[in-house]
Every structure is written in structure tokens, then in C-alpha cells.
Amino acid sequence: MRSIRTAALFAAGTTLITSGVVLTAGPASAIGGCPTAAPTHCYARGAFGPLIGQSPVWMDAIGTDLEVDCLSVQNRTTDFADYEMWMTTNNTDPYDYWVEEGMTAGTLFSAPGQPQGFVWYWADSRPGGGYAEHYIRDASTGTFTNASFYFVAGTGDWNVFLGGSQVGTSSGAGAYAGGAGNGVEVTTRDTTIVGNSVNWQYRENNSWNTAPNTWQNTSGNLLSGWASGGSVHAQTNSCTSHNLVPQPSVAQPATSQSLSQIADKFAALAGDPNAVNRRYVKTTRKVANAASGTTVSADGQSYLVQLDGRFALPSAKVPKGSVAPTGNGLSITVDASTGRVTDWAIGNSSPKLETLGAVTQLG
């Protein structure tokens, strides 16, 4: 029997008993590539609307319960695996603008010695706003948690919820949401994934409906699965195929040296190791994101790092059919107490750091 939910009732569901997967980092390089050794991504998902060539299914809210038994990649420095939900907006061109939310394992940008994450995140691509990625909290295996988006009437904004709590707002992402996807995105064949989605529903005219689910798999024989009703299942093989090695977990406060190292890594992965005018300002997470036109619910003392160059980032999370985000500005928000990146954005407009405080140049 289908359950109709409100924003306040979208919450976690059943808990299963499994074990997580954490891997050591490999050397920095380009993404491994999937299904071949090229800067491409593989997808195995349920989907509907323009993402798979169908007519739009208009909605003002969408949600699903996501769970993974394992989610890992061998090279966590450059590759990632996601289990996530996408929603496209401005559906005259479904590949340009979207909001997404889910679990990711692999590439996160942090001070040396910090873990490369198994976390919840959300991201968006907005008209005139470029691409941005935000990390919410640590993830865990074996637990269903609801991810959902709600349109803010009279705006082009979408509120992002995780487990019933609002975690951010995709500001100006656009109305006319007409399609969605739900499942796996991965940048390498050297991966282990078992994931599930249930209760996938969208809202139109105050009525909740089961998502019209069509299975799509671009991974060749890497992934298998199915999509039916409001459920999706995608997997590679068992959850024990990789050698499991614990990651260090001790937080290290950010320093000028660690900020410089984060900037170096971002610039290299984004294709411009010679990026110029590397600088930062001390602020808060909310203020740093607001400077880029985004709203996040979490806050704390942070550094906003800015780089100028010619960037293209194939390790960004994008729906099938979209290209790597590009731009001449790269903004990185780093938690002051942990040294971990909490948010980053790439685009053709940059925050004016001097309006936020004293600006310091990086070496």
C-alpha cells in the first residue's frame, strides 16, 4: 500500500544489519573511467521523463528512501561511486540543470590524512549559477533514509531534505521539473556496489504518485539490477570483493598550508594546475555559500578559498547525458576545525572575497 507523505514525514525507514566498506586512497590521477578507460561515467538506474527521451512528468516534489549495503571504489583519490536521486528542471534541455542527493564514496577533497569519505551529499547545476556540491553528514550502510526535493512556490528554488530535515536550498535551479533518475553513478569499473531505493514518489497537484520507473543501464556487464513500481535495485557483485582497510579519522584544523594543498589538488583535478590568484578569507559556511547564491542549513567557522583559471572537472557528479562542469572560477569551503571540504562550486562568476573579510593570498 502506497504511503502519502508530507515534508515533515519524509524520514528514515527500516534498518538492516550489514557491514560497511572503506578503502585506502591511491595515487592522484584522472578518473578511472566507466565503462572504458576514458573520462566517462556509468549509470544503472530507474528513470522517467526527458532524461530517457520521454515526455515530461510535471511535479512540485519528489522523494525516495535510499539504502546501500556497500558502496566503494578502489582508488578513492580520483574516483567515486554514488547511490542517488536526480531531478531535472527547466526541461527544455534536461541535461543542463538539475538537483541531486544521495550517498557518495570516494573522491572528497580534504587536508592530507583525512578520510575520503562515505557521506551524504547534495549538488545542483543552476542557470547562471554553475555547478555546486555540498556534503551533509557521514553515511552508513544498511539503513534506508529519505531524500526529497520540494518546490518553493513563486520562485525557481527547491528545498532539499534528508531524513525529514531541510539541509539546503537549490536557489534558482528553475521550475518545470519534469523528470528524474534514481540509482548508481560511478566513474570506474573497479567498484563494489549494492544499493536499493523504495517508496519513490512524485507530487503533482497535491497528489502523490508512484514514479513511472524505467530501467536504464550504461555499464555493460559491470552492474545489474531492475526498476519496478517505486523501487530500484542496482549492484555489481558481493560486498566483500575488495580488501578493506580502515581510513584515518582524526580531524586536523585547517592551516594556510593545508588550504594551499587543497587548492593544488582541486586545480590539478580540474585540469588547470597553474590556476592563479589563489586566495582565501575566514568566514562561516552559510556566508561562504550565500556568496555563491546557495543556501545550506549547517554552519560553522570556515575558510572560503578562491582560484582563477580554466577548469573542467570530470569527477563532478552529473546525470547521464551531461558534461563535466566548466568555468573560470573555483570556490572551496573548508571547515576550520576539521580541515575538511564541506562545499565547492565551479562556474564563470566568483564570490567577491573582499566583501567578506580580510583576504589572504595562498603560496
Tell me the mean pLDDT in the region 214-235.
96
- For residues 229 and 281, membership in a common domain is answered with no
Q: Give the C-alpha separation, 70 to 88, whole Å.
A: 27
Tell me the mean pLDDT in the region 240-256.
63
For residue 11, is pLDDT > 80?
no
Q: Give the C-alpha separation, 289 to 302, whole Å.
A: 11
Give residue 25's pLDDT.
30
| Of the residues 187, 206, 235, the one at which a domain ends | 235
Give residue 96's pLDDT.
85
Whether 3 maps to a domain, the answer reads: no
Angle at 258 between CA 255 and CA 259, to 5 degrees: 85
- For residues 200 and 300, membership in a common domain is answered with no
Percent of the chain with pLDDT over 90: 59
| Of the residues 181, 200, 235, the one at which a domain ends | 235
- For residues 189 and 317, membership in a common domain is answered with no
User: Pick the residue with more confidence: 184 or 244?
Assistant: 184
User: Pick the residue with more confidence: 46 or 349?
Assistant: 46
Single pTM value for the model: 0.88
- For residues 173 and 277, membership in a common domain is answered with no
| Of the residues 180, 206, 235, the one at which a domain ends | 235
Whether 249 maps to a domain, the answer reads: no
Provide the grid cell at 111.
587536508
Q: Give the C-alpha separation, 83 to 73, whole Å.
A: 13
- For residues 33 and 83, membership in a common domain is answered with yes
- For residues 198 and 138, membership in a common domain is answered with yes
- For residues 173 and 262, membership in a common domain is answered with no
Band of residue 363 on the pLDDT scale cut at 50, 70, 90: confident
* Cβ proximity of 295 and 331 under 8 Å: no
**pLDDT per residue over 56-80, tens digit each?**
999 999 999 999 999 988 887 778 8
State the residue for C-alpha cell 582497510: 245
Whether 244 maps to a domain, the answer reads: no
- For residues 226 and 312, membership in a common domain is answered with no
Whether 240 maps to a domain, the answer reads: no
Q: Which domain holds residue 160?
A: 9-235
Written as one string, the DSSP assignment of 96-120 is T-EEEEEEEEE---BSTTS---EEE
Angle at 111 between CA 351 and CA 348, to 5 degrees: 25
User: Pick the residue with more confidence: 152 or 27?
Assistant: 152
- For residues 154 and 292, membership in a common domain is answered with no
For residue 194, is pLDDT > 60?
yes
User: Pick the residue with more confidence: 14 or 263?
Assistant: 263
- For residues 93 and 176, membership in a common domain is answered with yes
For residue 269, is pLDDT > 50?
yes
Q: Is 289 helix (H, G, I), strand (E, B) or coil?
A: helix
Tell me the mean pLDDT in the region 188-217.
95
- For residues 227 and 290, membership in a common domain is answered with no
Number of compact structural domains in the chain = 2
Length of the chain: 363
Give residue 2's pLDDT.
33
Neighbours of 1 (CB within 10 A): 2
Give residue 116's pLDDT.
60
For residue 4, is pLDDT > 80?
no
* Cβ proximity of 335 and 291 under 8 Å: no
For residue 115, is pLDDT > 70?
no
Tell me the mean pLDDT in the region 125-141.
90
Whether 228 maps to a domain, the answer reads: yes
Whether 246 maps to a domain, the answer reads: no
- For residues 304 and 231, membership in a common domain is answered with no
Whether 26 maps to a domain, the answer reads: yes
**Domain CATH code at residue 78:** 2.60.120
User: Pick the residue with more confidence: 266 or 279?
Assistant: 279
Whether 251 maps to a domain, the answer reads: no
